[in-house]
């Protein structure tokens, strides 16, 4: 946890040309803060494969910030993954976020030749050796599909030992859950930086929906205060900014090796926290 800190922002590929142009504007705004990289998500079952590829290549070539595509193994064959890896390597991409990925509705339990993120990490290492810096996901409050916390922790450590260089967590609102997770993982032999994923609070209904789906717990005191604000967007945003800034202060003071902001393709909420923390530019 003593390595130099790094800060990054995450986007999702848009469905329209207008949305894409807006995203590039957001990316240029965030690029002025000199983040270490931008990451770009990959839809369930590879459903945004081409849009992810195009977005990443444009971020890398035009916005001039290193881009890290998400790559999932659900729904993709080894041949398809091999082709994507070759395209990214040829484009000068140096970092990949390696995930199992979400199952599209109706797909069933498994699809593709690789079942788990650890399999994907091993495959990327076999195909490209150490060319890519590999990020993996971590779940301080447990993956929503895990059997139990112990099994999830063991799976995470197995994924790390398969060849990961660092990890990014699912977002959370309790700093203690992060520190406890990292401490437990280190006792099992995990020795890579685990960067907290940060979700700015701007809209309560969307946040509640996201959190229920991904297993991120909204503490009761936060939930009740957000409910009390109802449709008062300004109060929700001001309260959310204060809560997340305080949590980030706790994380950094406790030794977290950086922050990864889930931007939802917006600049201002993440930058408000960045500026409050007086992070380097």
Reply yes or no on whether the pLDDT at 163 is more than 70: yes
Q: pLDDT tens across 123-142, in order?
A: 999 999 999 999 999 999 99
Coil, strand or helix: which one is 4? Answer: coil
Question: Whole-angstrom Cα distance, residue 101 to residue 114?
Answer: 11
With residue 166 as reference, give the H or E element that holds it: strand 166-169
| The pLDDT value given to residue 279 | 95
pLDDT band at residue 144 using 50, 70 and 90 as cut-offs: confident
Q: pLDDT tens across 33-73, in order?
A: 999 999 999 865 555 567 888 899 899 888 999 999 999 88
Q: pTM score, two decimals?
A: 0.93
Reply yes or no on whether the pLDDT at 2 is more than 50: no
| The pLDDT value given to residue 214 | 87
Active site residues per annotation: 10
Rounded percentage of the chain residues whose pLDDT exceeds 90? 74
pLDDT band at residue 113 using 50, 70 and 90 as cut-offs: confident
Reply yes or no on whether the pLDDT at 4 is more than 90: no
Reply yes or no on whether the pLDDT at 76 is more than 90: no
Reply yes or no on whether the pLDDT at 101 is more than 80: no
| The pLDDT value given to residue 104 | 53
Reply yes or no on whether the pLDDT at 108 is more than 60: no
pLDDT band at residue 168 using 50, 70 and 90 as cut-offs: very high
Question: Whole-angstrom Cα distance, residue 74 to residue 203?
Answer: 30
| The pLDDT value given to residue 103 | 59
Q: What is the dihedral of CA 76, 47, 110, 188, to 10 degrees?
A: 80
Helix axes 220-229, 204-214, angle to 10 degrees: 150
State mean pLDDT over 109-131.
86
The mean pLDDT value of the chain amounts to 91
Reply yes or no on whether the pLDDT at 281 is more than 70: yes
State mean pLDDT over 159-181.
97
State mean pLDDT over 173-193.
97
Radius of gyration of the chain (CA): 18
Question: Whole-angstrom Cα distance, residue 36 to residue 129?
Answer: 22
| The pLDDT value given to residue 50 | 76
Q: pLDDT tens across 256-279, in order?
A: 999 999 999 999 999 999 999 999
| The pLDDT value given to residue 225 | 96
């Amino acid at each position: 946890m003593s390595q130099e800190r790094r800060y990054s922002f995450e986007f999702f590929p848009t469905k329209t040309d207008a949305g894409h142009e807006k995203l590039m504007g957001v990316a240029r705004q965030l690029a002025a803060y000199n983040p270490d990289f931008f990451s770009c998500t990959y839809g369930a079952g590879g459903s945004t494969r081409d849009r992810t590829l195009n977005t990443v290549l444009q971020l890398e070539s035009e916005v001039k910030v290193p881009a890290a595509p998400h790559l999932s193994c659900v729904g993709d064959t080894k041949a398809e993954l091999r082709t994507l890896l070759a395209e990214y390597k040829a484009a000068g991409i140096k970092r990949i976020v390696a995930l199992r990925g979400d199952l599209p509705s109706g797909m069933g339990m498994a699809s593709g030749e690789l079942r788990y993120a650890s399999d994907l990490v091993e495959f990327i290492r076999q195909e490209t050796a150490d060319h890519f810096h590999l990020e993996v996901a971590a779940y301080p409050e447990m993956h929503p599909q895990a059997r139990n916390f112990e099994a999830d922790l063991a799976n995470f450590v197995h994924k790390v030992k398969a060849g990961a260089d660092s990890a990014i967590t699912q977002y959370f609102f309790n700093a203690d859950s992060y520190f406890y997770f990292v401490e437990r993982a280190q006792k099992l032999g995990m020795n890579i930086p685990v960067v907290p994923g940060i979700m700015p609070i701007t809209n309560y209904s969307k946040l509640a929906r996201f959190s229920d789906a991904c297993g991120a717990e909204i503490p009761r005191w936060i939930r009740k205060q957000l409910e009390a604000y109802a449709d008062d967007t300004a109060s929700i945003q001001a309260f959310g900014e204060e809560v997340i800034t305080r949590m980030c202060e706790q994380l950094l003071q406790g030794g977290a090796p950086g922050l990864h902001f889930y931007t939802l393709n917006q600049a201002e909420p993440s930058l408000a926290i960045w500026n409050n923390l007086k992070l380097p530019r």
